[in-house]
Amino acid sequence: MAVLFFGWDGMVGLNPKILPKRMPYIERGLMFAIHGIISHQTNTATGQQVFGSYSNKNAGGPGKPPNGAHFLIDEDASIYQTASILFCTNHVGPILPRCLSKYRAAGNGCSAQDLAAYKTMNKTQQSYWEKAKPLGQHFPSNDDSIGIEVVGLPHPYMPNPKEWEYESPSQPQLKALDWLVTQLLDTFRAYGHNFIEIFAHSEIAAKSRREGIDGADMLRAKGR
């Protein structure tokens, strides 16, 4: 078992394979538990484009800091840590109802109360409803998950962004993702974070089809 060394600031130290590039504008409130690792894709051709957004305190509009994830795997498979693991980042957004998905827990389909509530709620309200459920009955959220971005673009043939199909990460990128997630899981479990699930962003939030799917599928196939 390989365990990463995290300093007092929540950044990986003493590991030349993980390059520190902390971007404070993407960090939000403190994170008190880790229950998920979420596979993302950037919708950019290079990591530098992502770093440019992360370093702009108004990237989301006037007075709105950028969204972002804790780690980024660049086009050359270099691994960067872009946020402290002590802090949440806005990398998921509102979560979808797990009880409507193929990942619903056995015997935990949607209740009549759930279905009635969903009809009256917007996505943000649904997300708060979901997060009030017990662990394992809702998807991980910004509050309790680590996000990993892999640099990559969607295929541009669909006009609706929600229908974009992302290009598959390169083999070096997938190898880097597998190595990073294995290290993180070993480390978090060593410190008592034993319930950690792996999902693609598009599986748990209303995002482009297949965003992060290839990475998440690879990790689950290897039993991560």
Q: Is the predicted pLDDT of residue 155 greater than 90, yes or no? A: no
Q: Minimal CA–CA distance to 43: which of 201, 166, 171, 147?
A: 166
Task: Return all residues near 102 (Cβ < 8 A) that are at least 6 apart.
Answer: none
- Would you list the domain boundaries of the chain? 5-91+147-221, 96-138
Q: Which regions of the chain does DSSP assign to beta strands (E)? A: 5-6, 12-13, 18-20, 27-30, 36-41, 71-73, 79-81, 87-89, 145-150, 197-200
Alpha carbon distance 96, 99 (integer Å) = 9
Amino acid present at 69? A
Q: Is the predicted pLDDT of residue 158 greater than 90, yes or no? A: no
Task: Indicate the range of 137-146, 176-185, 199-208 predicted with least confidence.
Answer: 199-208
**5-91+147-221 in CATH: which number?**
3.40.80.10
The β-bridge partners of 197 are 36
What digits encode the pLDDT tens for the residues 193-217? 899 999 999 999 987 778 999 999 9
Q: Minimal CA–CA distance to 11: which of 20, 3, 2?
A: 20
